[in-house]
Amino acid sequence: MKIRIQRYDPDHDAKPYMKEYDVQLEPSDRMLLDALVRVKEMDDSFSFRRSCREGVCGSDAMNINGKNGLACVTKVADLKEPVELRPLPGLPVIRDLYVDMSQFFKQYHSIKPYLINNDPAPQLERLQSPEDRAELDGLYECILCACCSTSCPSFWWNPDKFVGPAGLLQAYRFIADTRDQATEARLDDLEDPYRLFRCHTIMNCVDVCPKSLNPTKAIGKIKDLMLKRVV
Amino acid sequence: MAISRRQYDAVVVGAGGAGLRAALQLAEAGLKVAVLSKVFPTRSHTVAAQGGIGAALGNMGEDSWLWHMYDTVKGSDYLGDQDAIEFLCREAPQAIIELEHFGMPFDRNDDGTIYQRPFGGHSSNFGEKPVQRSCCAADRSGHAMLHTLYQRNVRANTQFYVEWMALDLVRDAHGNVLGVTAMEMETGEISILQARATLFATGGAGRIYASTTNAFINTGDGLGIAARAGLPLEDMEFWQFHPTGVAGAGVLITEGVRGEGGYLLNKDGERFMERYAPNMKDLASRDVVARAMATEIKEGRGAGKEADHVLLKLDHLGLETIEKRLPGIREIARKFANVDPVRDPIPVVPTVHYQMGGIPTNYYGEVVVPGADGPNTIVSGFYAAGEVACASVHGANRLGTNSLTDLVVFGKATGNRVIEFLKKNPGQRALPADAGDDTLARINRLDTRKGGEDPAQVARDMRRTMQFHCGVFRFPDTLTEGVAKIREVYERAQNLEIKDKSRVFNTARIEALELLNLIEVARATMVSAEARKESRGAHDRADFHERNDVEWLKHSLWYREGDRLDYKGVTLKPLTAESFEPKARVY
Ligand SMILES: Cc1cc2nc3c(=O)[nH]c(=O)nc-3n(C[C@H](O)[C@H](O)[C@H](O)COP(=O)(O)OP(=O)(O)OC[C@H]3O[C@@H](n4cnc5c(N)ncnc54)[C@H](O)[C@@H]3O)c2cc1C
Ligand code: SF4
Ligand code: SF4
Ligand code: FES
């Protein structure tokens, strides 16, 4: 299988370049990540993040034939050759497929991603009906892989000001939680020309999310809540 | 290479469930803490846990911590320490309630309480019938728990060192632990992180085997580091083979599938667990189910062209239940097994999953080794919690859902113990003059060696050796050969060569350093397994088929120095409950 990978080592290279590898796959190598492990056996200087190899840790997000995805759940059989691999777009490249994720996490942290409830904690669990709990489905499953935010043009232009789809999805995850008491403060925080309103519903985020989550829908719901406040 | 120094009250190595729970305790106490992790915290392998977290909440019917304790002791094949097990089971309900208060999105019952599902080896009334004890968030319980704990740490302003890899312990001449040496992976720089207390929560080492449910990063670093520092590793012969790894891929299918009503079939469509465990059937303990499956395959009743796996049937649960309770399983089956479990069964095989052994601790998380104060002498300043530790609550076989419980119960307890210790020991101890020298020398050898061994090849040989010589069934001759072979691989691992000379994210160097940890774990496992002449829990020997409490009701302690073994007794006396005396184990 032919794979072309963007390589860059700040210790040795002036700028990034593409390098092609011809890898011999074993029958058990079904996913792109398996192929990348083979590349690394051929060339130990090729660097990338990976851990769980089953699509739950969010480590190995990369740009695969022009589209963001996780190498570990992308079947090699589904890929057009030569496969072109680049780092996630829009984030500073540190080395090979390693990008600097600080801006992404900063935005995630900016939405106060934790339950806020200032009542004294009860003895037992806080009760929540199965229906209220179901409101969190499609939200809490995010693995913070950044596939969505790094495919969003608004995030590329304003990564410091626009929260981005991943962060907004999590903002809504807490707004939607019946146990959280900070909805008003959360909405105040997002009522801003950049933090939320840079989203122009381009839907790239939905298209790439490897967990089939829908940030655009969550963003829409936040906007609805804001409108209701005005009325 | 220059070495910089930083000082903290405490250093926590690891940001999985155990590390994050401990860190929260320390950060909320206002201490200066550094939490190191090779990966961003939510990428730790706790994220992959599926089935749930065990606690006798009794939300689904009557339950009690004493029944949970009985199940855990029996599951451990009586090798678990009953003081630690009592502590685990008594504290578990409170630990779950805390997670709920932190915001964990548990599944719910109609009355709003946390939903609990049945799980292997968990019973009511001392083995009478299966009980619903596993608190879950669909089949993403680990994800829900890990993210919640991370979020709570964001709230507490915990200081994380993300993509920092701990390399060695720093100890003084008295054996006190004074911190770690560590590498910032982005720059390759080495520092000494000096601390009054050091807590290891580095998780498991499933990557010593070829076929495993474990992540790439589960390389037993904490174990390798402890062994190099002269500390023993406890009960390393006990590795859990999870019954249901996807055949060929290793990815896990949770026992929750069987908890929700799925069951195993051989090639004849027979529900064979009825023969092996008439009472608990598919929900017997994992060692029992894994052995039954391996027996079916060995005796020619495996399914598929190669007759090398069995089938996990769940289509009868219906689309709605599968989508509601097991959505992640459906996703995994479609991706990694090419089957949709709504219609077809999933091909599964027993797959290495969990290390019952680890760094010896007491139930406060203090590391204890044979010394001046007897077999459990405290190593001052050193703590361990989670899969890397051996308290021992899992003994010779862990029950499903008891690891997540272990992480939060002992993560918190260990954090509290550290806080007490820091109150009594306000000053930093002096670093020895040669602190960090061993680490630098090791890295330097790796960076400059020419004509050495290829790490990928050595790692492959290690994994093959472990898989073949130390599997579900163990034989005297393969074990003896295994010891010789793994010692040979060990020697080769001392002579690794890497080509990558960059400082920045040099993953060739990182993987070589990980291999140096893995190989210590592999050696400890093989040597401890060869020596234990009985069958107990996950350790099953063809030549000593029975458990032998007269000679072997004891914990193994493997020392790197001299590649030798020692033993210590099992604590049969609980804290308050009556002791559960060893008896025959039937499910
Ligand atoms: C697929 C799967 C499903 C499971 N399902 C369940 C379940 O449903 N219920 C249950 O009870 N148990 C389950 N288990 C077991 C349980 O998930 C693990 O035992 C547990 O999560 C381990 O947690 P931990 O905190 O000890 O380590 P981990 O979560 O593995 O975290 C280890 C941490 O240490 C860090 N680290 C390691 N080495 C270094 C180093 N040298 N320097 C710096 N940092 C380092 C890592 O970066 C990471 O942050 C499952 C296990 C697997 C593999
Ligand atoms: S829908 Fe909004 S958030 Fe998603 S890609 Fe488009 S602009 Fe970005
Ligand atoms: S929303 Fe989807 S794509 Fe975006 S970070 Fe979360 S899991 Fe990744
Ligand atoms: S390696 Fe974890 S998501 Fe791919």
Nearest to A74 by CA among A33, A113, A105: A33
Rg (CA), chain A: 20
- For ligand 2, the distance from its centroid to the CA atom of residue A184, given in whole angstroms, is 23
A48 to chain B: which residues are within 8 Å by CB?
507
A56 and B47 within 8 Å at the Cβ level: the answer is: yes
Are the C-beta atoms of residues A1 and A81 closer than 8 Å to each other? yes
Q: How far apart are CA B202 and CA B299, in angstroms?
A: 39
If one counts every other C-beta atom within 10 angstroms of the C-beta of residue B154, the result is 16
Which helix or strand (DSSP H or E) is residue B445 part of? helix B437-448
pLDDT digits (tens, 9 = 90+) for B415-465: 999 999 999 999 999 999 999 999 999 999 999 999 999 999 999 999 999
B143 and A143 within 8 Å at the Cβ level: the answer is: yes
Which helix or strand (DSSP H or E) is residue B16 part of? none
| pLDDT class of A201 with cuts at 50, 70, 90 | confident
Q: Which atom of ligand 1 is least distant from the CA of B256?
A: 8
pLDDT digits (tens, 9 = 90+) for A155-167: 999 999 999 999 9
A94 and B39 within 8 Å at the Cβ level: the answer is: no
Q: How far apart are CA B138 and CA B136, in angstroms?
A: 6
Residues linked to residue B390 through DSSP beta bridges, in sequence order = B360
A54 and B507 within 8 Å at the Cβ level: the answer is: no
Q: How far apart are CA B114 and CA B59, in angstroms?
A: 7
State if pTM tops 0.90. Answer: yes
- Residue nearest atom 33 of ligand 1, based on CA coordinates: B14
Nearest to B378 by CA among B161, B231, B532: B231
Nearest residue on chain A to B43, judged by CA atoms? A57
- A39 to each of A2, A25, B456, B560, how far by Cα in Å? 10, 10, 12, 34
Phi, psi of B183 (to 5 degrees): -115, 130
Q: Is B325 exposed, middle or buried (0-12, 13-18, 19+ CB in 10 A)?
A: buried
- Distance from B513 to chain A by nearest Cα, in Å? 14
**pLDDT value of residue A27:** 87
Nearest residue on chain B to A100, judged by CA atoms? B186
Nearest to B142 by CA among B204, B90, B88, B198: B204
Nearest residue on chain B to A58, judged by CA atoms? B43
A114 and B100 within 8 Å at the Cβ level: the answer is: no
Which residues of B form the catalytic set?
Answer: 286
Nearest to B90 by CA among B413, B417, B570, B420: B413
Tokens 């703590």 locate to B383
- B275 to each of A101, A109, B302, B587, how far by Cα in Å? 53, 53, 16, 11
Which pair of tokens denotes residue B115?
């939903």
Q: Which atom of ligand 2 is least distant from the CA of A215?
A: 4
- Distance from B253 to chain A by nearest Cα, in Å? 11
Interface probe, candidates B335, B339, B351, B513, chain A, greatest A C-beta count within 10 A: B335
Q: Is B565 exposed, middle or buried (0-12, 13-18, 19+ CB in 10 A)?
A: middle
Are the C-beta atoms of residues A100 and A94 closer than 8 Å to each other? yes
- B351 to each of A164, A182, B13, B209, B308, how far by Cα in Å? 39, 45, 27, 9, 13
Are the C-beta atoms of residues A84 and A70 closer than 8 Å to each other? no
Nearest to B55 by CA among B399, B556, B456: B399
Contact A154 CB / ligand 2 (< 6 Å): yes
- For ligand 4, the distance from its centroid to the CA atom of residue A57, given in whole angstroms, is 5
Are the C-beta atoms of residues B176 and B380 closer than 8 Å to each other? yes
**pLDDT value of residue A160:** 95
**pLDDT value of residue A186:** 98
- The beta-strand segments (E) located in A9-158 are 17-22, 61-64, 67-70, 83-86, 93-95, 98-99
- Distance from B113 to chain A by nearest Cα, in Å? 6
- Distance from B335 to chain A by nearest Cα, in Å? 7
Query: In the predicted model, what is the mean pLDDT of chain A?
Result: 96
- Residue nearest atom 8 of ligand 3, based on CA coordinates: A145
Are the C-beta atoms of residues B428 and B435 closer than 8 Å to each other? no
Cα A153 → chain centroid: 14
pLDDT digits (tens, 9 = 90+) for B485-509: 999 999 999 999 999 999 999 999 9
Closest in A53, A96, A113 to B151, CB measured:
A113
B186 to chain A: which residues are within 8 Å by CB?
94, 98
pLDDT digits (tens, 9 = 90+) for B135-166: 999 999 999 999 999 999 999 999 999 999 99
* Surface of B (67-96) touching A: CB under 8 A: 96
pLDDT digits (tens, 9 = 90+) for A50-66: 999 999 999 999 999 99
Closest in B42, B251, B455 to A144, CB measured:
B42
Residue A104 contacts B where some CB pair is shorter than 8 Å:
no
B109 to chain A: which residues are within 8 Å by CB?
130
A9 to chain B: which residues are within 8 Å by CB?
502, 504
| Among the bound ligands, the one closest to the CA of A143 | 3
- A127 to each of A175, B58, B60, how far by Cα in Å? 17, 15, 15
Nearest to B302 by CA among B262, B265, B251: B265
Q: How far apart are CA B108 and CA B135, in angstroms?
A: 9
What lines the ligand 3 site, CB under 6 Å?
Answer: A 142-148, 165-166, 169, 209, 211, 213, 215
Rg (CA), chain B: 23
B43 and A127 within 8 Å at the Cβ level: the answer is: no
Nearest to A143 by CA among B118, B458, B312, B140: B140
pLDDT digits (tens, 9 = 90+) for B568-585: 999 999 999 999 999 999
**pLDDT value of residue B399:** 96
Name residues whose C-beta falls within 8 Å of residue A8's C-beta, 6 or more positions apart in sequence.
A15, A16, A17, A93, A95, A96
Name residues whose C-beta falls within 8 Å of residue B25's C-beta, 6 or more positions apart in sequence.
B411, B412, B415, B416, B418, B419
Q: How far apart are CA A199 and CA A168, in angstroms?
A: 10
Are the C-beta atoms of residues B205 and B517 closer than 8 Å to each other? yes
- Distance from A223 to chain B by nearest Cα, in Å? 24
- Distance from B332 to chain A by nearest Cα, in Å? 8
Closest in B108, B147, B504 to A128, CB measured:
B108
Interface probe, candidates A9, A28, A57, chain B, greatest B C-beta count within 10 A: A57
Q: How far apart are CA B473 and CA B495, in angstroms?
A: 32
pLDDT at B1 over 60: no
Round to the nearest angstrom and report the end-to-end CA distance of chain B.
Answer: 58
**pLDDT value of residue B2:** 66
- For ligand 3, the distance from its centroid to the CA atom of residue A83, given in whole angstroms, is 23
* Surface of B (391-420) touching A: CB under 8 A: none
Residue B331 contacts A where some CB pair is shorter than 8 Å:
yes
pLDDT digits (tens, 9 = 90+) for B266-310: 999 999 999 999 999 999 999 999 999 999 999 999 999 999 999
B105 and A58 within 8 Å at the Cβ level: the answer is: no
**Which ranges in A68-192 belong to alpha helices (H)?**
102-110, 130-134, 153-157, 164-175, 183-190
Q: How far apart are CA A43 and CA A5, in angstroms?
A: 12
Cis peptide bond prior to A27, omega within 30° of 0: no
Report which residue type is found at B246. Answer: V
| pLDDT class of A230 with cuts at 50, 70, 90 | confident
Residue A25 contacts B where some CB pair is shorter than 8 Å:
no
Residue B105 contacts A where some CB pair is shorter than 8 Å:
yes
Are the C-beta atoms of residues B209 and B311 closer than 8 Å to each other? no
Are the C-beta atoms of residues B522 and B206 closer than 8 Å to each other? no
Nearest to B529 by CA among B491, B495, B480, B585: B480
Are the C-beta atoms of residues B455 and B511 closer than 8 Å to each other? yes
B43 and A57 within 8 Å at the Cβ level: the answer is: yes
Contact A166 CB / ligand 2 (< 6 Å): no
Q: Which of A148, A199, A205, A217 is the best mutation target for the ligand 3 pocket, counting ligand atoms within 8 Å of the beta carbon and taking the most?
A: A148
**pLDDT value of residue A200:** 87
B24 to chain A: which residues are within 8 Å by CB?
none
Q: Is B44 helix (H, G, I), strand (E, B) or coil?
A: coil
B503 to chain A: which residues are within 8 Å by CB?
11
- Residue nearest atom 2 of ligand 2, based on CA coordinates: A199
User: CA angle, B105 as apex, B101 and B110 as ends, to 5°?
Assistant: 95
Phi, psi of B380 (to 5 degrees): -65, 125
**CA B146, B152, B158, B161: dihedral to nearest 10 degrees?**
20
Q: How far apart are CA B141 and CA B561, in angstroms?
A: 40
Name residues whose C-beta falls within 8 Å of residue B161's C-beta, 6 or more positions apart in sequence.
B34, B35, B36, B37, B182, B184
Q: Read off the pLDDT of each residue in B163-176 and give the average, rounded to a whole number.
A: 97
- For ligand 3, the distance from its centroid to the CA atom of residue B293, given in whole angstroms, is 38
- Residue nearest atom 21 of ligand 1, based on CA coordinates: B46
B42 and A143 within 8 Å at the Cβ level: the answer is: yes
Nearest residue on chain B to A47, judged by CA atoms? B507
Are the C-beta atoms of residues B368 and B361 closer than 8 Å to each other? yes
Are the C-beta atoms of residues B340 and B334 closer than 8 Å to each other? yes
Nearest to B159 by CA among B39, B46, B8, B45: B8
B114 to chain A: which residues are within 8 Å by CB?
125
A96 to chain B: which residues are within 8 Å by CB?
505
- Output DSSP code: residue B272: T
